[in-house]
Amino acid sequence: MASLICGSLAFDTIMTFEGRFAEQILPDQLHILNVSFLVPALRRDFGGCAGNIAYALNSLGGKPVPMATVGSDGAGYVARFKQLGIDTSFVHEIADSYTAQAMIMTDRDNNQITAFHPGAMMQAHVTRIEQRGDFKLGIISPDGRDAMLQHAEQFKAAGIPFVFDPGQGLPMFDGKELAAFIERATWVTVNDYEGKMLSERTGWSSAEISRRVQGLVVTLGGEGCEVWVGGEKTVVPAVTAEAVVDPTGCGDAWRGALLFGLEQGWSLAKCAELGNQVGALKIASRGPQNYDLSSLRG
């Protein structure tokens, strides 16, 4: 069984600001905002939602197939995934673009400011979902707007159950479009903030959304997550991390675990339990694809 993972492959440039953003930004001066942050620590990591989800699922022993676009600078990313044993046959190069780039600055309270250049991701709609014998699951994570819309239709047409995970791409869509995603999806995952926006734009509560799909999960960071099935809510408690080192990619790691559990036929609550374990391990490690999940593999 393979899971088709639609979303971005990106390079993350991660910077650490040793102070607090709140101490540097004056609320009454936001109309003339001009701030500079000294960032002594800087590194470049492999990232992007599809890449991060695929890394987590692969690390757990699942079979991810990322569907994404990279630019002319993406050969090293593709080579790394091949070395990890990840199928890259649905990763396409857009020759006249850069691979998507995220510039992420984190302060001492783990607040983040991110600048994102989509690059080749804006051409992700050139990839097309078609049924393949081993495709049993899919996920739509943040990607180019056209790609997310078209891939939802293609998943439905191919009869492949999928997770709708709009993430930071959610604001691109109005209530009618989001409702259409939900009607096509099998499961929906959002964080608390995204969940409130999703309900506001569709006019549907979490309970109502969960009745339209097989399940809805609202992740709550350090508070665990809410699992909604058939209008009923179950709270799955968080797993305490050994250390809070870097939150980058934690949500994607959680979703990789979700797909692994769904591949095994687990209940949504059991999938969420594994997701919380994976998230705790990820947050204790720097970078979105540098953590070890061997302790969770059977």
Place of tokens 């058939």: 230
Beta strands in the chain (DSSP E): 2-6, 10-16, 41-47, 64-70, 91-93, 100-106, 112-117, 135-140, 162-164, 187-191, 215-219, 225-229, 232-236
For residue 82, which amino acid is it?
Answer: K
Q: Which amino acid is at 107?
A: D
Amino acid at 19: G
Which two tokens mark 183? Answer: 């009607």
According to DSSP, the β-strands at 232-236 and 225-229 are antiparallel
Active-site residue, selected from the candidate residues 45, 143, 246, 252: 252
Q: Which of 78, 92, 152 is nearest to 122 (CA)?
A: 92
In angstroms, rounded to a whole number, what is the distance separating the alpha carbons of residues 273 and 184? Answer: 26
* Residue closest to 147 by CA, chosen among 179, 118, 174, 115: 118
Q: For the chain, what is the total number of helices (H) and then of strands (E)?
A: 9, 13
Rounded to 5 degrees, φ, ψ at 225 are: -155, 160
Match 């942050």 to its residue by tokens. Answer: 37
- Taking the C-alpha atoms of residue 165 and residue 47, their distance in angstroms, rounded to an integer, is 17
| Alpha carbon distance 125, 116 (integer Å) | 19
Element at 172 (helix H, strand E): none
Check if 252 is active-site: yes
Active site (catalytic) residues: 252
